[in-house]
Chains A and B, each alone.
Chain A
Amino acid sequence: MKLSSKGEGRNGPRLSPMARYILKRVVIALVTLFVIMFVLFMLLSFMPGSPFNNEDKLTPDQIAALRAHYGLDKPVIERFFLYVWNMLHGDFGVSYSIMTNMPISQMVGPRIALTLTIGLEAGILGAVVGVVLGIVAALRERSVWDTFATILAVIGVSLPSFVVALFLSYFLGFQLKLFPILYSTAQPTISTVLPVLALAMFPMASVERYTRSEMISIMNSDFMLLASSKGVSKTKLVLRHALRNTLISVITVLVPLLVSLMSGSLVMEKVFSIPGLGSLYIQAIQQNDYNVVLTISFIYSVMFILAMLLVDIAYVVIDPRIRIAGGKD
C-alpha cells in the first residue's frame, strides 16, 4: 500500500493494490496468449502437408495460384502478424479444406456453445458434488460415508473418461434406455446428460479426494483447536473456520481440472458424436486446415487463461495473505 502512494508521482493516477494486481494479471495473460499463438503458428507452418489435400492432382501452377490466393506464399512472420492483425478486427480467416471458403466464425460459433455448455455443466457438477462429498467424508472420517466417497473417488480417478462413458451408455443408455446413446439435435438437453456425467466423473473424484484430505488436516490444525477452546460448537467451527480455509486450497486444483475437462471433452465428443469444438478440432488437424486449428487453439487458450485469471482474482478475494502480497509488489 505504501508503494502505490510512492509511485503516484511517477506513474500518474494512483491505483488501489487490488486494481494494480488485476491489471498486472491481465497484462500477463495477454502476453501469454500472444506467445501461445506465435508458437502455434510456427509449429503449424513447420508441419508437413498442406490444406490442399488433392495436391497430387493439381499442377504446380494451380497450387501456386491457390497459395497466392490465400496469402500462403508470404513469409511466415509476415503471415503471422497479418493473421493477428485480422484477428484483432474479428476476422479469423476462412476454412481451406473442411468447408472451403466458409468464414471460421460461422463454423465455430454454434459449436462453441455446445462444448462450453457440456464443459461448464460437467465442471460445476464435478466441483460441487466433489466438494460436498469431500466435506462429508472428512467430517465423518472412517465412517460408511467416508468409505463410500473414497471408493467413488478411486474409481473416478483411475477409470479413463471413455471407459466411464461406455459404461454409462451401456447401462443407462442401452439397457435402461433412459438417455440417448448418441447426441441428437432433436433432443439437445437430454442427450447431453451422459456426456456431462462421464466428463464430470474425473473432476468430481479429484476434488473429493483433495477436499477430504485438506479438510481433515484443517480440522486437526492448531487454529481449529484454539477456536474450539473458545467454546464454539462444532457446526459453527466448521462453517466459520474449516470451510473457508479448505476452499482456498481447493481452488488451486480447480485449474488443472479445467484443463482435464477441455482435453476430456475431445474424447467425449468423439464417443457420443457431439458436434462440438473438439471433433472439429481433430478433423482440422488431420486436414491441415490452418485457420480452423488456430482459431480453436485460440479459443481453448483463452478459456484456459481466463480460468487461471479468475482463480488468481478469486484467491485475492478469499485469502487475505495474498491480498497484501499483491499490494506490495
Chain B
Amino acid sequence: MTSERKRILKIRDLRVSFKTANGLVHAVRGVDLDVYRGETVAIVGESGSGKSVTAKQVMGIRTRNEVVESGTAEFTYVGSDGAEHTVDLMSLSDKEMVGLKGNHIAMVFQDPLTSLDPTMTIERQLAEGIREHTDLTGSDLHARCVELLELVGITEPEARLKSYPHQLSGGMRQRVVIAIALSCDPDLLICDEPTTALDVTIQARILDLIIELQRKLGISVIFITHNLGVVAKVADYVNVMYAGKIVEAGTTEDVFFDPRHPYTWGLLSSMPSVSASREERLFTIKGNPPNLLNEIVGDAFAPRNPFALEIDFVKEPPRFEVNDHHWAATWLLDPRAPKVEMPAQLRSRIAQMRQDGGEAR
C-alpha cells in the first residue's frame, strides 16, 4: 500500500446475463473492481453470487448463452515492445484475446483432476503455452519447464515432466496447473477457487505456494473463493459479492475487523471457529439468495436481513464510504438511518480475531 500503487485492471459497471428457457438471469449486475500491481484482491460470495462469472470475463471465457450487457475492463500491461498498453478486455475479439491469455493474464482453475489433458505428458502441456508466446525451443524450453516445476515445489521435475496427469496426486496436479499459469510471467493471475477441490492439508500448502509466488514474482492476483478463512490468509483487498453485486469492499482489515454490511456480518458470524465454545451454535444466514431471473427492487439482501429498513425494500442503497479504502452498500450507513450495531456475538468474535490476528497475517 505504498503511494505509487499502479492500477492494472479497472472494471466498471460490468453487467452479464445468461439466456435461459425462463428468461434472462442477471448474474452480474453492475460490478466495479480495481486490481493494483502486486496486490491480491479477493472476491468472496456464495455460489451463484456472480464472482466466478466476473473473473471469467477478464479471461474472455464465456458460455454460449452468456450476454455481456455493459461494462469495460481496462487492462494495463507491458508489451513485448517494452511500452505500456491499455486495452479494454470487453471489446477485444477472440483472436486478440489469444495473444493476451497465458501471456499477460493467466488462470488457475478449481478442479485440478479434470484441468489437465489426460492424453498428454506434463512437459507437453507445460511447454504448449510457452511455445505460443516465446521463442524458446529445444533444450531451452525443457530447462524452462524444469525451472517452473521447481518453482511450484515439485521434486524430481525431470521425472515428473515425463508423467501423465493421472500419475500425479491432486495437489501435484494443482501445482502443475499453477506452473502452467505462471509459465509466461503473467501480469495478472486469476485463481478461481483453486483449493476447493483439494483436501484440507493440501489446501493449506497450495495457498502458501500461491502467496509465496505472488510475493516472489510481484504479480497481481484475483482470488475467488467462498471461504473467508482463505481470504484472510491471502488477500490485501476483499470484495464481498451478493446476488451479482459487490456489497462491501475494503482492505482485509476493514472487512474483517470493521464490517459494515449486514451480509458481511452474516458471513463472518457463520465462519466456524476453533475458539468458539462448544455450546455456541454455528450461525447461519436464514433464507435463500434471490432468484436473479426476477427484477430486484431495493437491496437484494433485504429479505434475509434482520436489520433491514423499510427503504431497503424500495430503493437500492448507494455506496457509503467508511474511509477512502472501505465502502459498503447499505442504508444503515446513511446518516438518517437509526443506529444499528453489529450483533454482540460477532463483536466478541472480532475482538477474538484481532487478538489472534497478529500472527495469522
Contacts and interface: CB of A to CB of B under 8 A. Distances in A.
Interface of A: 221-223, 225-234, 240-241, 244-245, 248, 318-321, 324
A211 B61 CA distance: 24
B68 to A, nearest CB: 18
A232 B101 CA distance: 8
A230 B101 contact: yes
Given A226-B107, A320-B118, 9 more contacts: A227-B128, A230-B128, A230-B129, A231-B102, A231-B129, A232-B128, A240-B128, A319-B118, A319-B119
Nearest to A245: B119
A226 to B, nearest CB: 5
Interface of B: 59, 61, 94-95, 98-103, 106-107, 109, 111, 114-121, 125, 128-129, 132-133, 164, 166-167, 177, 180-181, 183-184
A180 to B, nearest CB: 46
B166 A229 contact: no
Given A226-B177, A229-B59, A321 B118 contact: yes
The 5 closest A-B pairs by CB, nearest first: A230-B129, A231-B102, A231-B101, A230-B102, A222-B114
Contacts of A231: 98-103, 129, 132-133, 184
A324 B162 CA distance: 13
Nearest to A319: B119
Given A229-B107, A230-B102, A232-B98, A223 B59 contact: no
Contacts of A227: 117, 125, 128
Nearest to B102: A231
Contacts of A222: 109, 111, 114-115
A228 B56 CA distance: 12
A226 B115 contact: yes
A230 B132 contact: yes
Contacts of A221: 114
B207 to A, nearest CB: 20
A229 B104 CA distance: 11
Contacts of B166: 320-321, 324
Contacts of B94: 234
A247 to B, nearest CB: 10
Contacts of B181: 229
A248 B117 CA distance: 13
10 contacts: A222-B115, A223-B116, A226-B115, A229-B109, A231-B100, A231-B129, A244-B119, A245-B117, A248-B119, A320-B166
Contacts of A225: 61, 109, 115
Contact of B167 (A228, A241, A324): A324
